């Protein structure tokens, strides 16, 4: 069950991964850290930002964006400019990317782990959210 998050935890993840998340994505996650994204074509579980405010939130956010991105970067074919923000539960990921400058674009991509390719599925998180 997603819950609000303090923006300081988003900033910690940005610092850890050396990126800047898009404003629309940050605003969505501040209101609801994690949760599902469902479209006609896709169904994803969003990774939360790691929330260290109490034991319950630590437990609920242990599969956070920072950890999941570090794991994904070990996979063959995962884009080096990619940040894992969610999964479909079958090994495929939802990712944000940057152009080498660390500033992530609003575009949401589906990364297929079997063929190592990504495809844009939305211009921003707001196209997919509720």
Tens-digit pLDDT profile for residues 66-107: 999 999 999 999 999 999 999 999 999 999 999 999 999 999
Q: Which residues contact 53 (CB under 8 A, 6 or more apart)?
A: 6, 9
- pLDDT value, residue 50: 97
- pLDDT value, residue 37: 83
Taking the CA atoms of residue 60, residue 62, residue 67 and residue 68 in that order, the dihedral angle to the nearest 10 degrees is -50
When pLDDT is cut at 50, 70 and 90, the band that residue 127 belongs to is confident
Contact (Cβ atoms closer than 8 angstroms) between residue 14 and residue 20: yes
Tell whether the model's pLDDT for residue 129 goes beyond 70: no
First to last CA, the chain: 15
Contact (Cβ atoms closer than 8 angstroms) between residue 1 and residue 83: no
Q: Residue 61's closest CA among 33, 83, 99? A: 33
- pLDDT value, residue 120: 94
Global model pTM greater than 0.85: yes
When pLDDT is cut at 50, 70 and 90, the band that residue 1 belongs to is low
């Amino acid at each position: 069950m997603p819950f609000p998050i303090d923006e300081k935890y988003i900033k910690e993840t940005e610092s850890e991964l050396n990126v800047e998340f898009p404003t629309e994505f940050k605003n969505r996650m501040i209101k609801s850290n994690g949760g599902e994204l469902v479209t006609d074509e896709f169904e994803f579980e969003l990774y939360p930002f790691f929330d260290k405010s109490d034991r319950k939130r630590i437990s609920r956010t242990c599969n956070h964006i920072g950890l999941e991105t570090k794991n994904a970067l070990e996979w063959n074919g995962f884009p080096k400019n990619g940040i894992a923000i969610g999964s479909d539960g079958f090994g495929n990921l939802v990712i944000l990317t940057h152009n080498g400058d660390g500033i992530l674009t609003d575009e949401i991509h589906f990364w297929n782990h079997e063929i190592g390719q990504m495809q844009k599925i939305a211009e921003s998180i707001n196209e997919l959210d509720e």
